[in-house]
Amino acid sequence: MAIYHRKSEERGAANHGWLDTKYSFSFSNYYDPNFMGFGPLRVINDDRIAGGGGFPTHPHDNMEIVTYVLEGALAHKDSMGNGTTINAGDVQRMSAGTGVRHSEFNASDKIGVHLLQIWIMPDKDGYEPSYEQKQFTRGDKLGNLRLVASNDGRDGSVSIHQKANIYAAIFNDGDSAELNLAKGQGVWVQVAKGGIVVVNDTELKQGDGLAIWETDKVTIKGKEEAEFLVFELG
């Protein structure tokens, strides 16, 4: 088994006033050749957007963009004609494909929004742009690795153009789960809130990530109330 603990305080960071963000991998003005992604997982941005703030209309192409809202709500508009509000617990998937333009703004003028924005490289370029959004309740994730994104959209997950699974979970002390991996698969665990214990008694706190590869099994245990994502890749 091989692991790498990406500590919260080691991530890239930027604060624009309306946006306070942490970068798990190289993004925007933050560049580290040692952190360009993990397999097809290219971006995990831990964004906090102040009331009234947001990203004006901008383009994307050939990327699977997944937004996971932790607190507050995000208003989304795009060139495909979608105009939605992404609330806490929602998972939004936008396949940028051949090209799409969109904007993202805090849906509130007063209350902040906290989200993880994830970019996954597709298995090929040139897909038709598409959009999907689903709600996953606290009960869906409590003590359970809930599949929220997959290549085939099974079990009510959103679908992505890549051989990857994303699980969301809320664990308390005493909760645990085991993930069995096929040969060549890797796992990235990202803690959004609280703390958990992963393989080899590695303790992860809020903002930490853990890369795991060359193993056939990953065990995750609750330490305190924690919300986290697990990326199964390859």
User: Does any domain span residue 3?
Assistant: no
Q: Does residue 194 share a domain with residue 82?
A: no
Among 115, 136, 157, identify where a domain stops.
Answer: 136
Looking at residue 129, what DSSP letter applies?
P
Which residue among 136, 160, 184 closes a domain? Answer: 136
Looking at 78, 107, 136, the residue that finishes a domain is: 136
Report the pLDDT value the prediction gives residue 219, as an integer from 0 to 100. 97
Is 75 a domain residue? yes
pLDDT at 130: 98
- Which whole-number Å values give the CA distances from 206 to 5, 75, 142, 215, in the listed order? 13, 25, 17, 24
One DSSP character per residue, 84-107 reads EEEETTEEEEEE-TT-EEEEEEES
pTM over cut 0.85? yes
For residues 159 and 124, state if they share a domain.
no
- Examine the domain organization and report whether 185 and 126 are in the same domain: no
Give yes or no: residues 112 and 143 share one domain: no
Answer whether residue 194 is part of any domain.
yes
Residues 6+ apart with CB under 8 A from 159: 93, 132, 149, 150, 151, 152, 153
Q: Are 131 and 16 part of one and the same domain?
A: yes
126 and 150 in one domain? no
**Given this model, what pLDDT does residue 200 score?**
84
Q: Does one domain contain both 107 and 176?
A: no
- 5 in a domain, yes or no? no
- pLDDT by residue for the chain (234 residues), tens digit each? 999 999 999 999 999 999 999 999 999 999 999 999 999 999 999 999 999 999 999 999 999 999 999 999 999 999 999 999 999 999 999 999 999 999 999 999 999 999 999 999 999 999 999 999 999 999 999 999 999 999 999 999 999 999 999 999 999 999 999 999 999 999 999 999 999 999 889 999 999 999 999 999 999 999 999 999 999 999
d(CA 93, CA 91): 7
Structural domain contains residue 94: yes
* CATH label of the domain that carries residue 163: 2.60.120.10
Distance, in Å, from the CA atom of 186 to the CA atom of 163, rounded to the nearest integer, reads 12
- Do 129 and 149 sit in the same domain of this protein? no
In a domain, 121, yes or no: yes
pLDDT tens figures, 118-173: 999 999 999 999 999 999 999 999 999 999 999 999 999 999 999 999 999 999 99
- Tell whether 108 and 143 lie within a shared domain: no
Say whether both 83 and 18 belong to one domain.
yes
Could you tell me if 155 and 54 lie in one domain?
no
**Residues in contact with 201: Cβ distance below 8 Å, sequence separation at least 6, in sequence order:** none
Q: How many domains does the structure of the chain reveal?
A: 2
Which residues span the domain enclosing 187? 139-233
C-alpha distances out from residue 17 to 21, 73, 77, 121, Å:
10, 18, 23, 29
Is there a single domain that holds both residue 207 and residue 119? no
